[in-house]
């Protein structure tokens, strides 16, 4: 198709939709200067309807080619990032002559590098095919982990961890972006849980690998060096698997070439009102992200979430070892944290989709880590059962997977989404930088300062989560007023967070009401879905509490 033909389609689409969906005095072309890639494909194909069986069949294919590669990469990324904590249990600090806060900085520098790499990552997600950007970084961080074995002093370890942070910086923003491109907003929670589930699997696989490698090490290769080499090689071995499976977007995915699969994949996510991916960086969306109060509220919650976990990720195994356990036993006793994480993730995700609300789950689940940390501060090494119980209770919350899902379904517009995610991830990096620094070496093995700091962060996080719900509710009232002004229904339920059968029933009921009301075209409800509009621009966008 020639460029002129594409422009003609774009112009025709604007002219058809404009009377139904735009506020007076604000023509659509001022909000968006380029149709989303998906809108072009749908415009060329014309109107189609697909049954539930076809949608479920395509969803299974999407899970195979999209969700499974994300799970593999997140598992490998967590193994690589955690390798320093595993190595520390096998006397890394003694072998490399670390002292003072140097070990803490080996964790903090990873997130310091990620912080400064976020602008590049945000731009790359728009400018480059997502698949190739992720694959490059996946291979690079795997090789970096292997090379860490060559470091024999603080400077060498610091440089290796610096590059690890640079290459791992894109992984979570990329996954949030990919999830928005492929899944309905209801499905976000389950798929985010899936790759977070893989993250928890690392807490089981990592200790087992470390336990075996620790026993197999020789005089020529120290245990900590063998850990880095083995974990890095495991990660590198999965790069070809991800290359074969992962597509860049629904508009180009090879596995959607048969029949109407590509159209089905795009129609499935129409009701998200977030589109898929525009290939152009839009400065108006970038400015909107920086002016949106939600951006900074999410950022604060990400900081408060990551600061405690950043410290515990580095010092958790050392706390356990400080209770009098050997290196091998301390490593194995980390495994229940992975099991707890997986069980609780499934449970909390089920609760989220049952009540169709995020904020109560976030607020309530944070009670458990506060209780766990409080127990760790009140008992000593003489009370091993109480200390172990408190340590494991901390991992009942599993707030991250809920936060990732909650934040990414409440922003729209390709550029705005990646900028918002980049800002949130920068805040998360700040938390992970600061978190290990409050675990003071002189307080080993109890680290009370770090635990009190964590309790404060979790308490404040629950308060900000409740305030976010209040703000999102106010935004939904504003959206209702905008729809009334356009002659559209004010009260709409969010179909994208319903299961398939419930969504079909509500959609039929809604369209019947529109026909009876007269003068309202049901197509107007989704006319903006693939136009890469932001949530502020699109009056049909519904915020999820």
Q: What's the pLDDT tens digit per position in 392-409?
A: 888 887 666 677 778 878
Count, residues in the chain: 545
Between 384-393 and 367-378, two packed helices, what is the crossing angle to 10 degrees?
160
Q: Helix, strand, coil % (nearest 5) of the chain?
A: 75, 0, 25
Are the CB atoms for 151 and 206 separated by under 8 Å? no
Q: Is 24 left (phi over 0), alpha (psi -120 to 50) or beta?
A: beta
Q: Spell out the residues 6+ positions from residue 481 whose beta carbon is closer than 8 angstroms to its own.
A: 490
**So what's the pLDDT on residue 332?**
80
**So what's the pLDDT on residue 28?**
40
Residue spans of the domains in the chain: they are 64-274+283-475
**So what's the pLDDT on residue 155?**
93
- Cα separation, 146 vs 232, whole angstroms: 5
Give the DSSP per-residue string, 54-109.
HHHHHHHHHIIIIIHHHHHHHHHHHHHHHHHHHHHHTTHHHHTT--TTHHHHHHHH
pLDDT tens per residue, range 86-142: 888 787 888 888 887 888 888 888 888 988 888 888 788 878 888 999 999 999 999
**So what's the pLDDT on residue 30?**
36
The SS3 of residue 366 is coil
**So what's the pLDDT on residue 25?**
41
**So what's the pLDDT on residue 10?**
36
CA nearest to 396, candidates 458, 344, 320: 344
Note the CATH architecture for domain 64-274+283-475.
Up-down Bundle (1.20)
Are the CB atoms for 444 and 436 separated by under 8 Å? no
Residue ranges, the chain, pLDDT below 70: 1-49, 216-219, 271-279, 398-401, 496, 500, 504, 513-531
- Cα separation, 489 vs 524, whole angstroms: 11
pTM higher than 0.75: no
Q: Where are the beta strands (DSSP E) in 301-406?
A: none
- Cα separation, 467 vs 452, whole angstroms: 23
């Amino acid at each position: 198709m020639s460029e002129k033909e594409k422009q003609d389609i774009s112009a025709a689409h604007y002219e058809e939709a404009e009377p139904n969906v735009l506020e007076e005095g604000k023509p659509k072309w001022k909000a968006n200067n380029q149709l989303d890639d998906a809108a072009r494909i749908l415009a060329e194909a014309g109107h189609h309807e697909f049954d539930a069986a076809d949608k479920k069949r395509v969803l299974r294919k999407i899970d195979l080619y999209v969700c499974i590669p994300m799970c593999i990469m997140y598992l490998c990324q967590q193994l690589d990032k955690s390798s320093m904590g595993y190595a520390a249990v096998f006397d890394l600090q003694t072998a490399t002559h670390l002292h003072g806060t140097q070990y803490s900085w080996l964790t903090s520098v990873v997130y310091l590098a990620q912080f400064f790499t976020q602008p590049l990552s945000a731009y790359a997600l728009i400018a480059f095919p997502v698949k190739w950007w992720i694959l490059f970084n996946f291979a690079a961080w795997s090789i970096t982990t292997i090379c860490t074995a060559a470091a024999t002093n603080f400077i060498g370890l610091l440089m290796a961890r610096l590059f690890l942070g640079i290459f791992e910086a894109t992984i979570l923003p990329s996954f949030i972006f990919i999830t928005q491109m492929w899944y309905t907003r209801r499905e976000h929670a389950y798929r985010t849980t899936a790759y977070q589930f893989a993250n928890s699997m690392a807490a089981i696989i990592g200790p087992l690998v470390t336990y075996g490698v620790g026993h197999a090490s020789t005089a020529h290769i120290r245990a900590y060096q063998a850990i880095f080499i083995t974990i890095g090689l495991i990660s590198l071995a999965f790069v070809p698997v991800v290359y074969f499976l992962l597509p860049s977007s629904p508009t180009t995915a090879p596995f959607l070439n048969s029949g109407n699969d590509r159209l089905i994949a795009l129609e499935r996510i129409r009701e998200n009102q977030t589109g898929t991916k525009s290939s152009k960086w839009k400065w108006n969306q970038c400015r909107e992200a920086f002016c949106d109060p939600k951006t900074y509220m999410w950022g604060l919650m990400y900081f408060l979430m990551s600061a405690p976990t950043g410290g515990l990720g580095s010092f958790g195994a050392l706390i356990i070892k400080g209770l009098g356990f050997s290196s091998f036993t301390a490593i194995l006793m980390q495994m229940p944290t992975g099991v707890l994480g997986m069980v609780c993730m499934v449970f909390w995700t089920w609760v989220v989709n049952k009540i169709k609300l995020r904020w109560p789950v976030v607020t309530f689940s944070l009670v458990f880590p506060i209780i766990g940390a409080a127990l760790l501060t009140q008992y000593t090494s003489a009370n091993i059962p109480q200390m172990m119980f408190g340590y494991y209770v901390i991992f009942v919350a599993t707030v991250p997977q809920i936060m990732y899902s909650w934040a990414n379904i409440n922003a729209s517009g390709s550029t705005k989404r990646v900028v918002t995610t980049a800002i949130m991830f920068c805040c998360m990096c700040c938390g992970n930088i600061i978190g290990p620094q409050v675990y003071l070496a002189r307080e080993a093995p109890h680290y009370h300062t770090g635990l009190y700091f964590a309790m404060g962060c979790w308490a404040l996080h629950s308060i900000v989560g409740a305030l976010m719900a209040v703000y999102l509710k106010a935004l939904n009232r504003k959206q209702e007023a905008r729809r009334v002004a356009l002659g559209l229904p004010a009260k709409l339920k969010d179909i994208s967070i319903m299961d398939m059968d419930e969504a079909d029933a509500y959609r039929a009921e809604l369209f019947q009401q529109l026909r009876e009301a007269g003068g309202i075209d049901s197509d107007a409800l989704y006319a903006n879905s693939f136009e890469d509009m932001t949530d502020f621009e699109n009056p049909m966008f519904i915020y999820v509490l």
